[in-house]
Structure formats: structure tokens, C-alpha cells
Amino acid sequence: MSVRGLFIVLEGIDGSGKTTLRDAIRDTLENEGSRTIVTAEPTDGKLGRILREGGTDNQFAEALLFVADRACHTDEIEGYLDQGINVICDRYYASTLAYQSAGSGGPDYGLLVTLNELATVEPDITFLLDIDPAMSMARVEDRGEEKSKFERLEFQRRVRENYLSIAEEKGFIILDATNPREKLLSQSMEHIMEKQR
């Protein structure tokens, strides 16, 4: 039987550099001979596609969709971990806790926690890439992509505050996302190596 893979999650507001760091960690782990796959939420599966195409205006229904997409994704993730493959995921339950509680009229925070508990496994390690939204929004604008409904400055500020308090409660590792890429990679690899021992 193979040793279970490590489940690593990257969280942060839009434009915080999660995907770049995720891919760099994957390359490092693969070079060391550890099989590793990268993935993301919303997924590109059936339910994730509804969210990627703009979701719905009903905030309760939208929160349920994020969690439903995650429930299916968790099954896939567990399959890889059981085969001894590491999984690095761009966003997981903390995204729903941070974003879906940042608007007005969304579902109650306690309910979001309960729903997520039913749809998730606890990651071995979660990194929060923390950045001032004024900087990350500039990065999003530089990409020249159309902004999603979640990418407004005031909203991102609330999401950041939510993330910081979730990180404290759950023991996430907070990284300063303004650090150079190499530094972020070495900082995260130190924590990952500790878990691999």
C-alpha cells in the first residue's frame, strides 16, 4: 500500500498569485520524485462550469453550488491521495467561507461552515497568500481579463479580512504575496517538507 499523498491548498483573494505558486510547488515536488497533480475550484466539471459561466444571482443557491462542486471534487481528490499522489488545489472550503459571507444577504456563516464540513476532507496544509486588494486588483487588471462579479475592491477588502480570521482560527500558513516568487516557493516548500517527514 502506498503512503497517502499530501493535500495542499492555496487560498487568497483574486490576483494573489495562487496559480503561479501552485504550479511551482508541483514542479518542485515532481522533480523530487513525488507524484503530484494540480487542480482548482470552481472545477471544470458539470457543476463548476455553471459557476465559471457566471453562477446565479441567488446567493443561497450559488453557495450551495460551490459546495456541491466541492463535494464531487473531494471524491476525486481522495482517489488521488489514496494512490499516494499529492494534490495541490487552487481554492477549497475557505474560499466559500471568505467570499460567500462577504456580501450582504448571503447565507449565514455557521451554515456555510456546516455545509462545507459535509463536503470536504481537511487539507494537510493550507497557505493563505495575503495581499492588499489594491495591488491584487491591479494585477487582475494587467491580465486584461473581464472582471468577475467578485472582483470589486470593497468586496475584496472584506474577503481579505474574512480570510485572515479564518486563517487564524484554522492554523493556515499566511504568506506575504508581495514576496518574490522564489521566496514564496522556498517558504512553502519548507512547510511542505515538514509534513512529508
Binding mask 162-191 for ligand TYD (x = CB under 6 A): ------------------------------
CB of 34 or CB of 76, closer to ligand TYD: 76
Binding mask 70-109 for ligand TYD (x = CB under 6 A): --------------------xx---xx--xx---------
Note whether 123 binds ligand TYD by CB under 6 A: no
- Residue with cell string 481522495: 78
Distance, in Å, from the CA atom of 94 to the CA atom of 122, rounded to the nearest integer, reads: 11
Note whether 124 binds ligand TYD by CB under 6 A: no
Binding mask 6-45 for ligand TYD (x = CB under 6 A): --------x--------------------------xx---
Exposure on the CB side of residue 98, measured as CA atoms within 13 A:
28
Render the burial of 121-130: b for 16+ CB within 10 Å, e for the rest.
eebbbbbbbb
* Span near ligand TYD by CB under 6 A; candidates 31-39, 117-125, 143-151, 169-177: 143-151
Note whether 150 binds ligand TYD by CB under 6 A: yes
- Using CA atoms of 56, 68, 108, 97 in order, give the dihedral in degrees to the nearest 10: -100
DSSP state of 147: P
Edge to edge, what strands does the sheet with 36-40 contain?
36-40, 86-90, 7-11, 125-130, 173-176
CB of 6 or CB of 94, closer to ligand TYD: 94
Of 7, 66, 163, 172, the residue at the interface with ligand TYD (CB under 6 A) is: 66
The DSSP string of 53-101 is TT--S-HHHHHHHHHHHHHHHHHHHHHHHHTT-EEEEE--HHHHHHHTT
Query: Is there a contact between 133 and 160 (Cβ–Cβ < 8 Å)?
Result: yes
CB of 66 or CB of 163, closer to ligand TYD: 66
Interface ranges with ligand TYD (CB under 6 A): 14, 41-42, 66, 90-91, 95-96, 99-100, 148, 150-151
